[in-house]
Structure 1
Amino acid sequence: MTPSITDSAVKAAIAAIASESATMEEKIQMLIEIAQGFQKKPKTAQDLRNAVSLYYRAYEMCGEEYTLLKARAQVGMAGTLQIIPDVGTELLLQAKVGYEEALPTLQQLALPEEVAEAQMNLGLVLQSLVPFNLARITDSIQAYHEALRVFTWQDYPQEYAILYNNIAIAYLSMPLASEREYLRQGLAVQSFEVALKHINLIDHPREYAMLQNNLGNALQYLVSSHPLENNLRAIAAYNEALKVRNPKDTPLEYANTISNKANALFNLPDDPEKPENGNSNNLLQAHNYYQEAWQIFTQHQQIEQAEVVAQALQDVEAEMMS
């Protein structure tokens, strides 16, 4: 793709750099830095396209002389392409090529953290392409594991948590024969639990809540001969997430977790020791959670999520009436 430079801000930036009494290397670096500004704080999708244009201009200016800057421009382009809203796969495929072409140079010349970040983002791109049969989930998991060589829990806890979260979700999406379903789900649960050994509530609350919420989801739908035990563990995980997530500070995350918890309560007897006594109390609690989640999703115009919760609300009301 050869981006067209149409935005006046981009043209002005390029003109200003062209008039600078700077070296070619400095001009390339300036273009990359301006592109990063568009990429990191975009106000519209056009800002992201502007970033791609600037990265591409920097890439062209590198020629064969500035190989590391050329790789950085490619990575910048790829990172921007993967976050531009797009209904198809064209931009993701371009991002994939960008990362794959840049990584050998980065591995030779860049800092390990720069390489790991590119591997992490390549993993995300590959994972996004899997549903279209344009990438393999095992390649995505491998890219994440490569990044984990650098992004350790001691030095980079946030990246570490995100990587293990992504690995777990990747395992959950692996197509396996039904008799091996338990294997991928077990690997996902294990991935969350590995991360939670090091990511704690006090030091990394946001990542802790994310991992606990997603662990709860994995446990709730785990194929097992102990569904009751898994549901109880799932609810415990959701409760941990709710120590961080609340309707004031993180309303959408909170709504997501309480609706997940409601799903677990729907299938949980009030007294696990006496399941024959039913679950009227848990159904009532699930109903209240669904109602609250629906209100939050509706208020924040999350239409699709609101519709899913509205259907669950109807289901729980029907169950309460039966």
Structure 2
Amino acid sequence: MDEQDYLDFLMEVFEAIADSNGDSKKVVYQLLQANLDKLDNNFAQFLQTWATAKFSEVTTEEAKSIANTIWDFSYYLHEFPLGKKANNMEIRIAGYEAVLKVFTRESHQENWAAIQNNLGNAYLYRIRGDIAQNIEDAIAAYHLALEVRTKQDFPINWAMTQNNLAIAYSDRIRGDIAQNLEDAIAAYHLALEVRTKQDFPINWATTQNNLATAYLYRIRGDIAQNIEDAIAADHLALEVYTKQDFPMDWAMTQNNLALAYSKRIRGDIAQNIEDAIAAYLLALEVRTKQDFPMDWAMTQNNLAIAYRNRIRGDIAQNIEDAIAAYHLALEVYTKQDFPINWAMTQYNLAIAYSDRISSNGVQNLENIIKTYQSENLELAIAAYQNASEIYTREAFPEDWAEIQHNISKP
């Protein structure tokens, strides 16, 4: 692909946005779909180089017009489902960084702040580069945006950026993990000062759901209370996230609520596990294998853990249900496509096989021992060995050691 090909494509994009009559997103998506071969990393570099040179050649008004078009194009790439996501993200970043040469803080502070917020989003979900540094870049961009997007002057945008900043702190790798979560929780609470249920119900529910996750993994404070706060926030989110109106968000929150019930310290432990199982099963009403295979597999894995820990019901059946759910998860979590998830599920499956009690006509202790040794122990060892293909001594020394210990048990 040479520069002329990229330039011709870029001019087509400009024309599509200019002639779209208010429906530019649909028009641009059709154009992008027909030119997926041009959405590569080289185009990201070309876009930034071309824009920088072009801005110096044209009038101020022309530069603003070009910058606005690049801004629209970069924004549309955020939700474009085709092509390589990593390439699309690099093009977005290149576009936003180019536009900042025109929309400076001094000349267009509102636009500058909006682009900083968008740039933060792009860095937060960037695939290439160092993940830890990408998150740092996202946090820096959000903080820059908040220098202009104050609660007093731009309350809605301020709240949106606070929510985004909180997500970045939740994902942060560098710094003190406990403090990062505190910063995330603080930013979510700030966002909720504007994002009220009455005025912005969907945004309110989104932030409540995010806050619940932060509380669930909070390190500081009373652990039991943190989990209660997580459960409370999930229930608040579900007041807006109904199955009928927001099925995907409803299912996600049900899965998160189930995780919180699984970890719950207060209340009746047996009932907490029942509540977790019920919420996982609700999530699976929407998270089907056909429509959402990754989410389906994750929830199946979580459900299996809940069945394995279940107190009520028949113990043998609970373990059978756990094994069945692990096997379902492995239909998506293949070694080739998701090696870490595959290894994790194999490891969990091995534990379930180790705990298995056969209820298929085994009547006495001798037969139980024989069945356990001849079938379930072999299945457990096989699953442990599968997991150890990914959990190697070099990459995951602690997991490897635990697997070796479990395999060596008599």
Match of 1:89 in 2: 132
Task: Specify whether residues 242 and 51 from structure 1 end up closer, same or farther in structure 2 by C-alpha distance, changes over 3 A only.
Answer: closer
Match of 2:329 in 1: 293
- Tell me the distance in 2 between the aligned counterparts of 1:108 and 1:201: 33
For residue 56 of structure 1, the aligned residue among 97, 113, 116 is 97
Deviation, structure 1 residue 5: 9.3
Match of 1:319 in 2: 355
Q: Higher relative contact order at CA 8 Å, sep ≥6: structure 1 or structure 2?
A: 1
Q: Give the 3-state SS of the residue equivalent to 1:202 in structure 2.
A: coil
The percent identity for this pair of structures is 23
State the Cα deviation string for residues 290-314 of structure 1 (Å, max 9, x = none).
1111122118812211111111111
How is 1:20-39 mapped onto 2 (pairs within 5 angstroms)? Answer: 22-39=61-78
Counterpart check, 1:8 vs 2:10 = no
Match of 2:162 in 1: 119
Q: Number of matched residues?
A: 311
Deviation, structure 1 residue 52: 2.4
Q: Give the 3-state SS of the residue equivalent to 1:297 in structure 2.
A: coil
Scaled by the length of structure 2, the TM-score of the pair is 0.68
Task: Specify whether residues 34 and 10 from structure 1 end up closer, same or farther in structure 2 by C-alpha distance, changes over 3 A only.
Answer: farther
How is 1:58-207 mapped onto 2 (pairs within 5 angstroms)? Answer: 58-63=99-104, 64-85=106-127, 86-107=129-150, 112-129=155-172, 132-133=175-176, 136-153=180-197, 156-176=200-220, 180-207=222-249
State the Cα deviation string for residues 93-120 of structure 1 (Å, max 9, x = none).
2221221122131237975443332221
Scaled by the length of structure 1, the TM-score of the pair is 0.84
Counterpart check, 1:242 vs 2:284 = yes
Task: Specify whether residues 20 and 109 from structure 1 end up closer, same or farther in structure 2 by C-alpha distance, changes over 3 A only.
Answer: farther
State the Cα deviation string for residues 243-282 of structure 1 (Å, max 9, x = none).
21111111111111122111111122453xxxxxx51111
Is contact 1:68–1:110 with CA below 8 Å preserved after alignment? no
Match of 1:310 in 2: 346
Q: Give the 3-state SS of the residue equivalent to 1:296 in structure 2.
A: coil
Is contact 2:48–2:95 with CA below 8 Å preserved after alignment? yes
Bigger drift between 306-315 and 133-142 goes to 133-142
- Tell me the distance in 2 between the aligned counterparts of 1:204 and 1:231: 25
Q: Give the 3-state SS of the residue equivalent to 1:61 in structure 2.
A: coil
- Tell me the distance in 2 between the aligned counterparts of 1:87 and 1:125: 15
AA aligned to 2:337 is Q
Task: Specify whether residues 236 and 5 from structure 1 end up closer, same or farther in structure 2 by C-alpha distance, changes over 3 A only.
Answer: closer
- Tell me the distance in 1 between the aligned counterparts of 2:202 and 2:56: 39
Structure exhibiting the larger radius of gyration computed from Cα positions: 2
Task: Specify whether residues 46 and 249 from structure 1 end up closer, same or farther in structure 2 by C-alpha distance, changes over 3 A only.
Answer: closer
For residue 301 of structure 2, the aligned residue among 227, 242, 259 is 259
Bigger drift between 109-118 and 247-256 goes to 109-118
Task: Specify whether residues 161 and 298 from structure 1 end up closer, same or farther in structure 2 by C-alpha distance, changes over 3 A only.
Answer: farther
Is contact 2:47–2:94 with CA below 8 Å preserved after alignment? no
Deviation, structure 1 residue 234: 0.8
Bigger drift between 104-113 and 79-88 goes to 104-113
Deviation, structure 1 residue 231: 0.5
Task: Specify whether residues 11 and 207 from structure 1 end up closer, same or farther in structure 2 by C-alpha distance, changes over 3 A only.
Answer: same
State the Cα deviation string for residues 73-104 of structure 1 (Å, max 9, x = none).
22222221111124442222222122112213
Flag structure 1 segments of 5+ consecutive residues without an equivalent.
Answer: 272-277
Flag structure 2 segments of 5+ consecutive residues without an equivalent.
Answer: 1-41, 358-371, 373-410
For residue 280 of structure 1, the aligned residue among 308, 316, 320 is 316
Task: Specify whether residues 53 and 269 from structure 1 end up closer, same or farther in structure 2 by C-alpha distance, changes over 3 A only.
Answer: closer
Q: Give the 3-state SS of the residue equivalent to 2:354 in structure 1.
A: helix
- Tell me the distance in 2 between the aligned counterparts of 1:259 and 1:15: 52
AA aligned to 2:45 is D
Is contact 2:132–2:174 with CA below 8 Å preserved after alignment? no
Is contact 1:247–1:254 with CA below 8 Å preserved after alignment? yes
